[in-house]
Structure 1
Amino acid sequence: MSVSSSTPISSPCDLTQGGRTLRRSLRCHGIGLHSGQATNVQLHPLSPGQGRLLQRRDLPGSAPLTLSPEVVQPSPLCTQLAQGEVSAQTVEHLLAALAARGISDVLIDLDGPEVPILDGSARDWIEAIDAVGVTPCYCREAVPTPLPEPIWIQDGEAFVAALPAPQLRLSYGIDFAAAAIGQQWHTWTPVREDFAQEIAPARTFGLAHEVESLRSRGLIRGGCLDNALVCDGDHWLNPPLRFANEPVRHKILDLVGDLSLLGPIPVAHILAYKASHRLHVRLAQCLRSRGYA
């Protein structure tokens, strides 16, 4: 990854607020996890109220896409956005980093179909954003509307829910037959624990026995041991892990990115078990339909 940067500036923020943009533009370059294509990304500041836009520089004349749950298109193993001619996949790690720094007005400028996977986490995105800095909050701090009743989205034994709570909290559970992963649960409370330290470094992961099948379907063409953890039964092919429960922390990272399509994330206890990008987005769509956006 290459990034234009200056002295790092710390810019922690509440995921439920937003109201910031970048101080300066930044650039990065990397390989798409699924497409295998090299892509250049530029992030540019926007004025208050312009929102979060995504444009494809390689599609001249196309209108920018406005980020929202409604522009998500079905895609295995990642979140893909599409509106008119413009589409982009694997946006979730970048979106999580933007949300964690409260950036609600930004132009994401790509010259290809997929956001680079970088090291498989959001750590490089957070470091790049902190390097250029973010503006102070330019809108009056709002009092988040409390969630009046639980919302559940279920598919078999997998589910994601938003439960009334006094502050934002995200809890996730996973259960894999592979012994190296097994059953894992993790809870992250943003106001108490730093995203950059606790969630952003967690990398995407996969199972060794699925690699060839996924590649035969045109997926993970850019995947390698430098940008994904690979589990082979009772061991990892590329240790060490950054956390003992790195896989479930990565699922929280994905959840933050997907829910950030709403803008600021509603104050609730978000609870997920064996969920997927599809279920995450269905919850975001349900919350938006009830006025939480």
Structure 2
Amino acid sequence: MVKQKTIKTEISLTGVGLHTGKEVTMTFKPAPINNGFTFVRVDLEGKPVIEADANYVVNTQRGTNLEKLGVKIQTPEHVLAALMGCDLDNIIIELDSSELPIMDGSSKFFVEAIDAVGVLEQEATRNVYVVKEVISYVDETTGSEIIVMPHDQYCVTAMVDFGTKILGTQNATMKCIGDFKAEISDSRTFSFLHELESLLENGLIKGGDLNNAIVYVDKDISSTTMEHLKKAFGKEEITVKPNGILDNLTLHYPNEAARHKLLDVIGDLSLIGTRIQGKIIANKPGHYVNTQFAKKMSKIIKNEQRNYVPTYDLHQEPLMDIHKIMNVLPHRPPFLLIDRIIEMSESHVVGMKNVTMNENFFVGHFPEAPVMPGVLIVEAMAQTGGVLVLSTVPDPENYLTFFMKMDNVKFKQKVLPGDTLIFKCDLITPIRRGICHMQANAYANGKLVAQAELMAQIARKQ
């Protein structure tokens, strides 16, 4: 299981937005576990936070644009691709403007900035969605399509057909995320001359110059257009190279356009919010189809997580039987509410209880229609988590456990005599000073029956 990662220390970059032309300072900051990628607009009152979430995509014209409660983030895809390519999970991105800096039109400078400060491994396990079947999204209007299929790691292929003689059909493949830095990150954004004319007429690409966007000349340049280009890019002369590119840019790769489209796919799909283990094939990708696919994947993953019920072999010898549990927990019958500990790691624990008609609480709790009290299910989950936190001290018999807080408690199903309860507790934050903050779920009969965020502390006996 791979650990989550952030950066060791913060680092800032300054540049201009491609479309707004505004100078922006962007600061990467380390973030806690399970934070994901979040943007903070430090130029606005209250410093509002916008999560890198596909559900906040509001526009995909000339880039991916996010908006939450009226606060906007423009063209984050190259930065997000860099974060993914550097194998990061948790980063706070502070901005003093809405649009991220374009730099040279690729992810290169962001990758170099991250490499300069280094990566820090965190104490929580990375959540990865393993693709088990083919999932696809098709844009019927353009014919663009993205599919993901089962694979042993995350890889991406982009196939593009630009319908022009100057560029034609190109393909690019990233076999694993480790190849991003060397093979994909320095692939720059591009535009065709006919698109450029429209952008200039609409007052866009104010931050563009011939060093951060490759311009493919797919038509004859009129003298009027040439003058517009000179003015827009601040050049006295503009020429077309034999390979059909404006001015003096040299391609990094013959298929740099396809590689940049692949870069965009990686950045846009980071908006899923969960790492993917699967093979992505993107045919004629663009920001619209990319983000629609990301929204679809996000919904599928959330639905599966909501309905996911872990399975365990209850016939195997447990990690801890009732005798070992009583050597750790201070609880005793009738208030000892777990029978076994099935598995445990540094960040999670799984316990079990067989519910029988002989339970003391059934004497008074609906004896004619016995239902296990919800508060006791929460207590059983807390006792399961207590085993985890008490495992961090050498003499657990000398400690007691106390509730500090419970949030988002929900009861989904009734628990009846004859049910086997499974309790799974995952740390939300690392255990510190004997304080355990965890997400606890209880399952029975293949269904989630209860869940809660719990916080408890162990204290030495007086």
The 5 Å alignment of 1:1-293 reads 19-140=4-125, 144-155=129-140, 156-190=142-176, 194-233=179-218, 235-237=244-246, 238-291=248-301
For 1:251 and 1:18, the matched residues in 2 are separated by 29
Distance 1:17-1:94 versus aligned 2 partners, 3 A rule: farther
Q: Provide the C-alpha distance between the structure 1 equivalents of 2:298 and 2:135, rounded to a whole number of angstroms.
A: 14
Q: How many residues align?
A: 277
Gaps of at least 5 residues in structure 1 are 1-15
Amino acid at match of 1:168: Y
Tell me by how many angstroms 1:61 deviates.
Answer: 1.4
- In structure 2, the partner of 1:11 is none
Report SS of the residue matched to 1:279.
Answer: helix
Distance verdict in 2 for CA 1:18–1:221, change over 3 Å: farther
Question: Which ranges of structure 2 fall in alignment gaps of 5 or more residues?
Answer: 219-242, 306-462
**Rounded Cα–Cα distance in structure 1 between residues aligned with 2:159 and 2:42:** 38
Contact 1:26 1:43 in 2 (8 A): yes
| Identity value in percent | 33
| Distance in 2, Cα, partners of 1:272 & 1:51 | 24
Deviation of 1:105 after TM superposition, in Å, equals 1.6
Higher gyration radius (CA) = 2
Runs of 4+ in 1 over 4 A off after TM superposition: 141-144
Distance 1:142 1:68, change over 3 A: closer
Q: Deviations over 1:247-276 (max 9, x none)?
A: 000000000000011234312221112221
In 1, Cα distance between equivalents of 2:3 and 2:99 = 25
Q: Counterparts of 1:21 and 1:212 in 2: how far apart (Å)? A: 41
Shift in alpha-carbon separation, 1:141–1:265, aligned structure 2, 3 A: closer
Distance 1:259 1:225 in 2: 28
Deviates more, 1:140-149 or 1:283-292: 140-149
Which is further off, 177-186 or 237-246?
Answer: 177-186
Of structures 1 and 2, the one with the larger relative CO (CA 8 A, separation 6+) is 1
Contact 1:17 1:102 in 2 (8 A): no
| Alpha carbons 1:17, 1:264 under 8 Å: kept | no
Give the whole-Å Cα distance in 2 for the aligned partners of 1:126 and 1:207.
27
**Equivalents in 2 of 1:140, 1:120: separation in Å?**
33
CA shift, 1:48, in A, is 1.4
Alpha-carbon distance, 1:216 to partner: 1.9
Give how far 1:287 is off.
Answer: 0.7
TM-score scaled by length of structure 1: 0.88
Aligned partners of 1:247, 1:258: CA distance in 2, in Å? 16
Once structures 1 and 2 are overlaid, which stretch shifts more, 64-73 or 23-32?
64-73
What amino acid sits opposite 2:118 in the alignment? G
